[in-house]
Amino acid sequence: MNNIPLVFWLVPIASVCALGMAWYFFTSMFREDEGTPRMKEIAEYVRKGAMAYLKQQYRVVAIVFIILAAIFAFMAYVLKVQNPWVPFAFLTGGFFSGLAGFFGMKTATYASARTANAARKSLDGGLRIAFRSGAVMGLTVVGLALLDIAIWFIVLNLFYNGDKLALVTITTTMLTFGMGASCQALFARVGGGIYTKAADVGADIVGKVEADIPEDDPRNPATIADNVGDNVGDVAGMGADLYESYCGSILSTAALGAAAFVGAGETQLKAVIAPMLIAAVGVFLSLLGIFLVRTKEGATMRDLLKSLSLGTNVSAVLIAVATFIILYLLGVENWLGLSFSVISGLAAGVIIGQATEYYTSHSYKPTQKISEAGLTGSATVIIKGIGTGMISTCIPVITIGVAIMLSYMCANGFDLSMSSTSLAHGLYGVGIAAVGMLSTLGITLATDAYGPIADNAGGNAEMSELGEEVRHRTDALDALGNTTAATGKGFAIGSAALTALALLASYIEEIKIAMERADVMMTNVKGEAISAAQATIPDFMNFFQVNLMNPKVLVGAFIGAMAAFLFCGLTMEAVGRAAQKMVVEVRRQFKEIAGILEGTGTPDYGRCVEISTRAAQHEMIFPSILAIIIPIIVGCVLGVAGVLGLLVGGLACGFTLAVFMANAGGAWDNAKKNVEEGNFGGKGSFAHKATIVGDTVGDPFKDTSGPSLNILIKLMSMVSIVMAGLTVAFI
Amino acid sequence: MNNIPLVFWLVPIASVCALGMAWYFFTSMFREDEGTPRMKEIAEYVRKGAMAYLKQQYRVVAIVFIILAAIFAFMAYVLKVQNPWVPFAFLTGGFFSGLAGFFGMKTATYASARTANAARKSLDGGLRIAFRSGAVMGLTVVGLALLDIAIWFIVLNLFYNGDKLALVTITTTMLTFGMGASCQALFARVGGGIYTKAADVGADIVGKVEADIPEDDPRNPATIADNVGDNVGDVAGMGADLYESYCGSILSTAALGAAAFVGAGETQLKAVIAPMLIAAVGVFLSLLGIFLVRTKEGATMRDLLKSLSLGTNVSAVLIAVATFIILYLLGVENWLGLSFSVISGLAAGVIIGQATEYYTSHSYKPTQKISEAGLTGSATVIIKGIGTGMISTCIPVITIGVAIMLSYMCANGFDLSMSSTSLAHGLYGVGIAAVGMLSTLGITLATDAYGPIADNAGGNAEMSELGEEVRHRTDALDALGNTTAATGKGFAIGSAALTALALLASYIEEIKIAMERADVMMTNVKGEAISAAQATIPDFMNFFQVNLMNPKVLVGAFIGAMAAFLFCGLTMEAVGRAAQKMVVEVRRQFKEIAGILEGTGTPDYGRCVEISTRAAQHEMIFPSILAIIIPIIVGCVLGVAGVLGLLVGGLACGFTLAVFMANAGGAWDNAKKNVEEGNFGGKGSFAHKATIVGDTVGDPFKDTSGPSLNILIKLMSMVSIVMAGLTVAFI
């Protein structure tokens, strides 16, 4: 165990602290009163629906995981083209990711009624419960992720201790547990996304457009399904998603660090544990931030926003400062440059968040213009929204471009020579920028997960008929969540791009290891025969002809771009189909069950929950499997060059498409809210009906297809990495 | 002139034949009767509006061209980083492209009333006039293109005769006139696209959705503008577009041929003129096809379709056969392999066309499902349409991928070693596949341009109140056009992708020449210092580090993907803004001019024409300039590696996005037609209103943003090629 320095133990300690605090926040939330019997009843409905869904979901995912693990085992033990640890690493990644989603959702379903109940007394009471419950999710995710990382690092160190290439093997093996997390995340996002939007779209179309009843009205049979959906998609889905991003960024950076400093002894070890330490310190700073979020009795909306921003901003600034200290104390080579890499990642996250807010908040022109387009009908709302969404890709893409260049150059001393060391150091810098972006996930995820809890609290308040004022308070809490969520989204999407880039480089490392395992010889840039172990990244680029004139690379890039569109198309269609079923069912209930609209008959909520559950389970399989299969086929047919083309095409196009979809959806949502606030005719006007169509179309954009793309990009990289052995066998 | 073999003269002869036949078809159409005074009046309105627009458009474009030509002249004569012929080549490319659009539109505006008048007597009379008028456009485009190519080839041969690298210099110089054509095409497509869709969307929203009056109703003030738009966008825009594709494919293939066979004497010359000869023979075969399109008196719809397909299919089959003969007789090295490259291009065009038809025709499931989604409202129609469009990218992308690999490998004897010769030969194969695809443009464009003429004939019939039966006949002609247009679109989009790929390789050649001109030394793969003239493509890839681990390449790819989205977003927004203005104006007229809706008051058509004209002129500038500026900036900041990343990212993402937009738009259009034919409630039903929203949203998708993307992709390559000298100066 002499491979593990003392300072590493900060990682498991941070993990235990995070999980402990999560438990503390959970129990203190649980002690609160859930409110009137009606509130309890509604909460119970939602809880049951959500848990039933999650059970069903995990059952399906378990089958997929068992099949995949069996395939990996076959590859590892029979074909010998795979590291023997992979099947286990894959399973733990999936398991912990699922666990994070489960705990988060459990908390959220207990918290919503309690938030509504606290909001009956005061706004800040509601905020405290909702935010702390969101923090349970944030802390569980980072706690479990660091736990998984720490355990595997310790276990693998026991096995590989003394081996010359130990750290490279350890880190690349650990990377494969990222694939388990990615897989779980994709199913959670796609399944949850289809569930929630089928219910939401269905409820909106019949409820708001046809029957003219408000959101969350208990007369709408799809209301419970809609509220279940918020938990299933926005909480459990997001938890699994960010668990995956968080692990992915740390693990790929560690792998890049191991590769960049091969044979450098101490330095290599430091490079490997640096991202873990930044993450660990980030946990403590997140905790600090969470405790800073407190409000006085009778706080105003502005106070609340200030208090939330204070928490996240203090954490972000402190982690920036802490990075310098950590890297300096650790004695990492070029600690100053690497710290600036982290800063450029953090700054990119902030800028993307700001741009997201500009394009999607109705305080600004773009969204206001979409509302205005409502005056000429739903068609112009859609055209305008799509236009705005597409234009909104500009700032995030340029920001990410600049962040990539800066983090790359800061890490290698502004060396653009593309020599093997400058390249390796530069890519390590890109990875660590992603780690920096996600290091305060504990608190940023708390502000994100807080949103659906507040949303559900509003639903509970409406259905329990708690009156105008309570509903007003929960609406304020919800609106608050939307504002902070923009920043969170910026970090999530920015880090996904940087992590995917780091994974690209890790893929080369995996190919190298696979070639060593298979004893395949290659030639270096100068044409001399060498073993894979001696090859540098430029050697690989040359040997596999990974340049832009290689038709395999070009075809790969085409397929990557297409994969992003195809995946989005499949998930959009799935939501469309499921929503149509929901509409038909709600119309049927309105017609067949007497007195629903008068409030005397009880709608059959269960039928709608069942429709969503079944549709989500049924529809999530094909797109998810596709994401796994495409890189395997491309690898076997087009080889390493084709896979890299695929990943780059998928990354560039997928990232842009994801920003477009998320922002268009967000802008439509707020354009509608803008009209509802009394502009362009207000509620019930022609423009309102038109913007509701926009909002409905935007639902799958922003909550199903868009967020799933982030995972798709990384999952394709992960699959390529895990399947590297197979690709090499086909060379 | 001993550089020019006798067989080359086939090219100018084909050009003259094409232009002569175009003139013949024009005069024989012109002799037909234009019908009743009312019909003449309507036609005159449309003609005047269209010509006024084109004049205005060419005035703006002329200014842009003069500025650009001045910049090129400065670069050529002062900075000396540019070939001295470029300013002139650029201007002729733009001029001829504009001329093709002008003639096509002139013909179309004379033909529509005559088609309507002929349709009063019989269906086949209408077909003959409309199709032959479409053929005027097709033949003018190919005739002018071959004329421009022939003249420049002869002139440059006079100047460079005897020079060792003559053919490389000549072909790369000629390539730059493609930039003139691309520029003109972009303005024509964007301006025309905004014009036509502003009018169409505006007319539909107020006319169909609000006032409940049918398409082309003379009571609708935007009707004339709508009809003008068809001519301006679908005829003049498409003409300039395909002129550009046609020239681009021939010129880039010639340049690749010159580069692939440097120093091979005769063989090199043969490789250069082979694409020109295939195009020339294609002209004759197109003419044959055009004459095959004849129908008996009293032909049924099915007869007409058969007759049209006969013409295009015979031409396509014959060019496939002729390719073998041409390449064999020419004595081109590997004539058999290259012929198969052409075949793979042709086959790809057919497959993409079939896939387009499957996804957009209401004879098939996908579009029918969109109609069905109308039962649950416009939101589900939009969701379903976007989903379908995204999924529909799958087949075209895979087809293009397979075509790239096949045409590459057939041309170099299935050699994937990426040695410099195998690479050069392979890329030449990709280029010649694009030439094959477009070789029968004379007839495929005729079937395309025929569509808007039939459409306008329908408009004229409606406005002149010619009665149910005539309108029925013109509708049949229009529907016929939609079916054949699908195939045409397949060829247009497929060839754009292949041509862009060929341009990518040509870019490297231009960089090489620019480096020679600037006397910049470089190193080859082995690290030895060499001059640019000695360098092979793999040397360049290595020297500029154009591999997928270079952050410059990755950032370039991100920006390329973003450029496609940004460009689409800007054009979508432009249409949205202009359409809103149109809606406001039409509503105003309905309110303020007494008796419009009763048919007693006359609407002010002129105001609507003016709104479209002004909006199009105003809105086309920014996106077009952006397309020119982005590659220049990327070249200066990120160098050659960044530019290649940009082009590949733009190509992969832009192609996919273009297919998505075109197909989604087409599917929405036909989903509406499907409902109008009596399905899901028929005209006036809830589903009809919902599908009209889909159709309206689809208008800018399929007729503004989608088609403009094809040109954007190629224009970015062309700009990079022309600016290569500047990029090299920044190395």
CA A188/CA A233 separation, integer angstroms: 7
DSSP, res B530: E
- Residue B120, pLDDT > 70, answer yes
Token match 């990120």: residue?
A: B638
**Residue B558 φ/ψ, nearest 5 degrees:** -60, -50
Q: Which helix (H) or strand (E) holds A530?
A: strand A529-531
Distances (CA, A) of A674 to A469, A591, A677, A694: 20, 33, 5, 13
CB pairs under 8 A between A and B: 310
Q: What is the C-alpha radius of gyration for chain B, rounded to an integer number of angstroms?
A: 25
Residue-level pLDDT at A731? 67
User: How near does any CA of chain B get to the CA of A213, in Å?
Assistant: 17
Q: Kindly state the tokens that stand for B714.
A: 């190629």
Measured CA to CA, the distance from residue B186 to residue B95 in angstroms comes to: 13
Report pLDDT for B518. 84
Partners of residue A376 in chain B, C-beta under 8 Å: 205, 579-580, 583-584
CB contact at 8 A, B651 and B501: yes
* In the predicted structure, residue A509 carries a pLDDT above the cut 90: no
User: Residues of A with CB below 8 A from B615's CB?
Assistant: none
Mean pLDDT of B630-648: 95
With a CB-CB cutoff of 8 Å, which residues 691-720 of chain A face chain B?
Answer: 693, 696-697, 700
Q: Which of residues 419-448 of A touch B (CB under 8 A)?
A: 423, 426-427, 430
Residue B291: CB atoms within 10 Å? 12
Asked if A205 lies within 8 A of B379 by C-beta distance, the reply is yes
A residues 60-119 near B, CB within 8 Å? none
User: Which tokens is A348 given?
Assistant: 């990119």
Q: Looking at mean pLDDT, say which of A156-170, A519-533, A549-563 comes out highest.
A: A549-563
Contact B562 A393 (CB under 8 A): yes
Tell which A residues from 381 to 400 touch B, by Cβ distance under 8 Å: 382-384, 386-394, 397-398, 400
Whether B288 and chain A come into contact, CB under 8 Å, resolves to: no
Look at residue A15 in the predicted model and tell me its pLDDT: 97
Q: Is the pLDDT of residue A730 over 80?
A: no
pLDDT at A3: 67
> pLDDT, tens digit, for every residue of A407-443?
999 999 988 888 888 999 999 999 999 999 899 899 9
**Residue B48: Cβ within 10 Å count:** 15
| Beta-strand relationship, B529-531 and B521-523 | antiparallel
Distance between CA B282 and CA B277 in Å, rounded? Answer: 8
Q: How near does any CA of chain B get to the CA of A399, in Å?
A: 10
CB B132 within 8 A of CB B29: yes
Under an 8 A CB cutoff, do B566 and A393 touch?
A: yes
Q: How far is B729 from chain A (nearest CA, A)?
A: 18
B579 and A380: CB-CB below 8 Å?
Answer: yes
CB contact under 8 A, B559 and A653: no
- Dihedral of the CA atoms A331, A337, A339, A341 (nearest 10)? -140
The pLDDT of residue A358 is 93
pTM above 0.80, yes or no: yes
Task: Say yes or no to pLDDT of A2 above 70.
Answer: no
CA separation for the pair A329, A316 (Å, rounded): 20
Q: Is B686 on the interface with A (CB under 8 A)?
A: no
Please answer yes or no on whether B652 and A426 come within 8 Å at the CB atom. Answer: no
Distance from CA of A409 to the nearest CA of B (A): 10
Question: What mean pLDDT do residues B577-593 have?
Answer: 90
The verdict on a CB contact (< 8 Å) between A644 and B561 is no
Contact A668, A695 (CB under 8 A): yes
* Dihedral angle of Cα A177, A182, A185, A191, to the nearest 10 degrees: -130
Question: What integer pLDDT is reported at residue A1 of this predicted model?
Answer: 45
Backbone angles phi, psi at A377, to 5 degrees: 110, 175
As a whole number, the mean pLDDT across chain A is 90
Q: What is the mean pLDDT of residues B328-356?
A: 91
Partner-chain contact A416 B379, CB within 8 Å:
no
For A250-285, write each residue's pLDDT tens digit: 999 999 999 898 877 888 999 999 999 999 999 999
Higher pLDDT, A293 or A16: A16
Rounded CA-CA distance B623/B629 in Å is 10
Position B379 confidence tier, pLDDT thresholds 50, 70, 90: very high
**Nearest CB to A573; choose among B391, B541, B696:** B391
For B264, the 3-state DSSP assignment is: coil
Give CA–CA dist A293/A305, Å, rounded.
10
- Range with the lowest mean pLDDT among A12-21, A646-655, B601-610? B601-610
Query: Hey, which of B293-307, B377-391, B448-462, B603-617 has the most confident mean pLDDT?
Result: B377-391
- For residue A448, the Cα-to-chain-centroid distance in whole angstroms is 11
Pairwise CB contact (< 8 Å): B390 & A648: no
Cite the beta strand spans of A669-713 per DSSP E.
none
Which chain B residues contact residue A394 at CB under 8 A? Answer: 562, 566
**Which tokens go with A491?**
């970090």
Å between A696 CA and nearest CA of chain B: 6
pLDDT exceeds 70 at position A230? yes
Length of chain B counted residue by residue: 731
Instruction: Concatenate the DSSP letters of all residues of B460-519 into one string.
Output: HHHHTT--HHHHHHHHHHHHHHHHHHHHHHHHHHHHHHHHHHHHHHHHHHHHHHHHHHHT
- What average pLDDT does range B567-588 have in this prediction? 92
- Output the CA torsion B135→B136→B141→B145 (10° steps): 110
**Using CB atoms, which residue from B551, B583, B693 is nearest to A408?**
B551
Tell me if B325 sits within 8 A of B454, measured CB to CB: no
Q: Is the pLDDT of residue B2 over 60?
A: no
A193 versus B481: which is more confidently predicted?
Answer: A193
Whether residue A554 and residue B388 make contact (CB cut-off 8 A), yes or no, is: no
A575 touches chain B (CB under 8 A): yes
The per-residue pLDDT for range A199-215, each reduced to its tens digit, is 988 888 888 778 888 88
Q: What is the pLDDT of residue A172?
A: 86
Q: Do B576 and A398 touch (CB under 8 A)?
A: no
Q: How far is residue B21 CA from its own chain's centroid?
A: 22
Give me the amino acid identity at A447: T
Measured over the CA atoms of residue B283, residue B288, residue B291 and residue B293, the dihedral's sign is negative
Residue in B216, B667, B414, B692 with CA at minimum distance from that of residue A379: B692
Label residues A86-112 b or e (16+ Cβ within 10 Å = b): bbbbbbbbbbbbbbbbbbbbbbbbbbb
A572 to B652: CB separation less than 8 angstroms, yes or no: no
Percent of chain B's residues with pLDDT above 90: 58
B264 touches chain A (CB under 8 A): no
Please answer whether residues A387 and B578 qualify as being in contact, where contact means their C-beta atoms are separated by less than 8 angstroms: no
Phi, psi angles (nearest 5°) of residue A546 = -85, 55
Instruction: With CA atoms as reference, report the closest residue to A658 among A718, A708, A717, A719.
Output: A708
Query: Measured between CB atoms, does B565 come within 8 Å of chain A?
Result: yes
Q: Find the mean pLDDT for residues B416-436.
A: 90
Task: Using the predicted structure, report yes or no on whether residue B1 has a pLDDT greater than 70.
Answer: no
> Does residue A165 have a pLDDT over 80?
no
Q: What is the pLDDT of residue B3?
A: 67
* Whether A579 contacts chain B with CB within 8 A: yes
Query: Would you say A165 and A672 are in contact if contact means Cβ atoms under 8 Å apart?
Result: no
Residue B254 to residue A614: CA distance in whole angstroms:
58
pLDDT score of B53 more than 80: yes
Contact status, residue A196 vs residue A232, Cβ threshold 8 Å: yes
Q: B580 to chain A, minimum CA–CA distance in Å?
A: 6
Q: Return d(Cα B696, Cα B688) in angstroms, integer.
A: 12
Q: Is the ipTM of this complex over 0.90?
A: yes
Mean pLDDT of chain B: 90
Please indicate whether residue B177 or residue A131 has the higher confidence score (pLDDT): A131
What are the chain A neighbours of B696 within 8 Å (beta carbons)? Answer: 379, 383
pLDDT in tens, A594-610: 888 888 888 898 899 99
What length does chain A have?
731
A window 489-528, beta carbon within 8 A of B = 497, 501, 504-505, 508, 525-527
> pLDDT for A34-69, tens place per residue?
999 999 999 999 999 999 899 989 999 999 999 999
CB atoms within 10 A of CB B538: 19
CA A46 from chain centre, in angstroms, equals: 24
Answer whether A383 sits within 8 Å of B557, measured CB to CB. Answer: no
Residue keyed to tokens 């593309």: A418
